[in-house]
Amino acid sequence: MKKVSFEISDEQMEEIKELKEDLEKDGFSSEDCYRAIFEMGIKAYWMERKNPDDKDIRKQLIMLASKYSAMRFKYFQLVRDNQTLDIKLKGYEAENNYLKGLSGIRTDEE
């Protein structure tokens, strides 16, 4: 993974902040927002270069690519949250079994 830094104008930063706020409302972290915005820009640039004549189709594809990008990041976050919850659940189950053993309660597994 690479880290990128560059300077942008104040107007562009305001537009990025608006996009970031919209993505954060959908549950994205700040870092994922910036990553999604950057990826959308790259896709828009390549689509512009490859299809300079097909404006309507290009706009539709850019919109679909941006939605897909946002969904991928949301999926990644949900998978990460699910893994965290699974680890916590395993810990709670182990603690529960330990406490049942201390109190002398029989479990179905025995």
Instruction: List the chain domain ranges.
Output: 10-103
Q: Does residue 86 carry a pLDDT above 70?
A: yes
CA angle 16, 69, 6 (to 5 degrees): 40
- The mean per-residue pLDDT over the stretch 34-57 comes to 73
- The mean per-residue pLDDT over the stretch 89-97 comes to 94
Q: How would residue 101 be classed by pLDDT, with cut points 50, 70 and 90? A: confident
SS (H, E, C) the chain: CCCCCCCCCHHHHHHHHHHHHHHHHCCCCHHHHHHHHHHHHHHHHHHHHHCCCCHHHHHHHHHHHHHHHHHHHHHHHHHHHHHHHHHHHHHHHHHHHHHHHHHCCCCCCC
